[in-house]
Amino acid sequence: MNKDRGIKTAFVSIPLAAEPIFEIGHFTVTNSMLNAYIAVGFFILVAIIASRRKSLVPKGIHNIIETVIEFALLEIEKVTQDKKNARKFLPLIATIFFFVLVSNWMGQIPGTGSIGIWGYMHEELELIPLLRPATADLNMTLAIAFVAILSTHLAGMKSQGIFNHFSKFFNLKGIWLSLKKGPMAIIVAVVEFFIGLIEIIGEFAKTLSLSLRLFGNIFAGEVLMTVMLSLMSYIIPIPFIFLELLVGIIQATVFAMLTLAFMVVATMSHGNHEEEHSETHKQAEAHA
């Protein structure tokens, strides 16, 4: 072994990027992906259990599942102010919330971050953890945010039509109609056109904001827990574990509620967009 190479444990530092565990052909599986697969497997198991309900009156685990779904539907309806839209948005919003929540909380399972395999990383022998919270990987949070924002546009196109939805960003129709109304109307239409271009930048900003907020909070929590565990393995880390559980549910709620707010705004008609935009965000932030 090269004497210049030091030996690091998982308690010294946590790399920003998820560490690769194994490869399937040319596909690399990282420890954060492994955690995500476990979370997905958990939800598949819940779905199988829920689908095996045999009576009209829910019992046991089915009663818990139904209660959780009803609670989620009521919270979504408080933001949408529309029962039909609440039912329409429930599958996506609930999926994002519970996946992010379980991924956040899985970081507190004993062995996550501390059980692994020894391997060379960055020219040093390090303990590579087998499990890492999926939301502590920027690639994962970016993917979730991308799906969330893409879904808002798909919902907007379905609700308003493709042309009307994209007219919020490229107001060519407004410029064409303003030609018949005079110079002032043309100036207003041109200004609205450039505001639409700024809105496009805003869509990218939404994606980055959602992903970086979630990644930053969960990764910071992992660093904090690593430091506490390196100081003392007993008693001292307990309050911080409860803090991380609280942070996990807060971040999942914020991510889901902001996605819901974006979907509500995307499905509004163009005329009501500016009028109700701030109110929707206020409602989402109040529930988050």
CA dihedral defined by 96, 97, 102, 103, rounded to 10 degrees? 50
**Residue 146 predicted with pLDDT over 90:** yes
* pTM of structure: 0.79
At 148 the pLDDT is 94
State both tokens at 114: 């501390």
Task: Report how far residue 73's alpha carbon sits from residue 277's, in angstroms, rounded to the nearest whole number.
Answer: 22
More confident residue, 33 or 285: 33
What integer is the mean pLDDT of 84-96? 93
Give me the sheet containing 116-121, strands edge to edge: 7-8, 124-129, 116-121
Cβ neighbour number for residue 253 with a 10 Å cutoff: 17
Task: Report how far residue 38's alpha carbon sits from residue 141's, in angstroms, rounded to the nearest whole number.
Answer: 16
CB-based contact 156:267 (threshold 8 Å):
yes
Query: Hunting for tokens 């060519």 — which residue is that?
Result: 172
Domain extents in the chain? 7-287
pLDDT one-digit tens code per residue, 223-274 = 888 778 777 777 777 888 888 899 999 999 999 999 999 999 888 765 544 4
At 50 the pLDDT is 82
At 97 the pLDDT is 95
**Residue 41 predicted with pLDDT over 90:** yes
